[in-house]
């Protein structure tokens, strides 16, 4: 059975990263590690480490993306909770066997990581990202 390692990050959807940093960095005191464009997810992401995890500010870069639709419908706020696992393919297989509704039945591979999303209807309304860090 695959295992859960930790909460990797909490993602907050924002209209504008620079504006949002005035709270998260300047007022709350988190350290901005870096900002990254993620074209495959139509987003720009600011990474701010906290302990073993991170807060990520996520800004849509395309007005027709799912992230932009989420922001338009719900406004700024928590977008998803990311749980790091040791074997994402095995975790997805185990979840499928348990009839868990998945957004991604196969993991997407990005530089240094694999990821997949669990549908919020299976997780009490919370979008869950599964994440495997590649060595």
Q: Please give the pLDDT value at position 13.
A: 98
Q: 20 has which bridge partners?
A: none
Q: Please give the pLDDT value at position 110.
A: 86
What residues of the chain score a pLDDT lower than 70? none
Q: Please give the pLDDT value at position 111.
A: 86
Q: Please give the pLDDT value at position 105.
A: 94
Q: Please give the pLDDT value at position 101.
A: 98
Number of H helices, E strands in the chain: 3, 8
Q: Which CATH superfamily is domain 4-133 in?
A: 2,3-Dihydroxybiphenyl 1,2-Dioxygenase, domain 1 (3.10.180.10)
Nearest alpha-carbon partner for 50 in 68, 74, 20, 25: 25
Q: What's the predicted TM-score (pTM) here?
A: 0.91
pLDDT single digits (tens) 57-91: 999 999 999 999 999 999 999 999 999 999 999 99
The residue extents of the domains of the chain are 4-133
Give dist(CA 56, CA 10) in Å, integer: 6
């Amino acid at each position: 059975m695959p295992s859960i390692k930790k909460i990797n990050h909490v993602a907050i959807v924002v209209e504008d990263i620079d504006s949002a940093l005035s709270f998260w960095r300047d007022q709350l005191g988190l350290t901005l590690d870096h900002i990254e464009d993620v074209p495959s997810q139509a987003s720009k992401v600011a990474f701010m480490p906290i302990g073993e995890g991170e807060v990520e500010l996520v800004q849509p870069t395309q007005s027709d993306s799912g992230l932009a639709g989420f922001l338009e419908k719900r406004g700024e706020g928590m977008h998803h909770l990311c749980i790091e696992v040791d074997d994402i393919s095995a975790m997805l297989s185990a979840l499928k066997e348990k009839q868990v509704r998945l957004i991604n039945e196969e993991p997407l591979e990005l530089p240094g990581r694999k990821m997949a999303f669990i549908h919020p209807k299976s997780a009490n309304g919370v979008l869950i990202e599964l994440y495997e860090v590649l060595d």
